[in-house]
Amino acid sequence: MMLAAFATTVFDSQRTFRELLQAMARPAAPRALPILPPSPASIAPAAMAVLLTLCDATTSVWLQQPQEDAVEHLRFHAGLRLAERPQDADFALITDPASMPSLTSFAHGDIRYPDRSASLIIQVAAFGSSPCVQGEVGRGSLALASTQDCTTPPQPSPVNKGGSSRAMHFAGPGIRETEILAIDRLPSDFWQQRAAMSVQLPLGVDLFFVAAQQVVALPRTTRLLES
């Protein structure tokens, strides 16, 4: 049976977009997505919310694990085009980060048009970050994870099953001083890859991480600080 998509397309995608926009504008700070649409098992509902909000017949999407029910669902509800190769994709959905292709295999833009670059949606198990952001949900509630906003010192989340994640400090446009975040189960050289790409700025790829109801964006300009 075919699953439904957003119940009220116009308003659900608008509310989701506003969270994505704030996520991109305030990197490394988790935000709660307002609506989780039904989704086939292989795609997390949060990732589905992002895809339905941003993708349509004019975008090409690369699926790391193009399972039939997922493909059918996305074609039916979003009419999107699937990209054969990562480098052809406007959006890429990474459902198994541990085995994802290198970041350099995605389009990182033209020197005159750096916007012609991929956005990656990466499904992860959980985020650990500063405590004051935990459990914040709902539209308009700003995830104030900036260090100076916390009354208690930020602590990395200990909840990491099988991941080698550690709390990392980020800085860059959109971050007041620094932001602290841990992301589970990324390839061991993920951050090296990303750091290596940063010499090409403003070329680069932009990342959305999703876990449960939360989304975190890391645009190309966000720097991982040595901790």
By CB under 8 A, name the binding residues for other proteins.
5-11, 13-15, 17-18, 20-22, 24-26, 53-59, 76-79, 90, 111-115, 117, 119, 139-140, 142, 144, 172-176, 201-202, 206, 219-221
Contact call for residues 151 and 64 (beta carbons, < 8 A): no
For other proteins, give the closer residue by CB, 175 or 183. 175
Q: How far is the CB of 204 from other proteins (least distance, A)?
A: 8
Q: How far is the CB of 75 from other proteins (least distance, A)?
A: 10
Contact call for residues 41 and 69 (beta carbons, < 8 A): yes
d(CA 188, CA 192): 8
For other proteins, give the closer residue by CB, 117 or 160. 117
Q: How far is the CB of 106 from other proteins (least distance, A)?
A: 14
- b/e string for 29-64 if b means 16 or more Cβ within 10 A? bbbbbbbbbebbebbbbbbbbbbbbbbeeebbbbbb
For other proteins, give the closer residue by CB, 26 or 194. 26
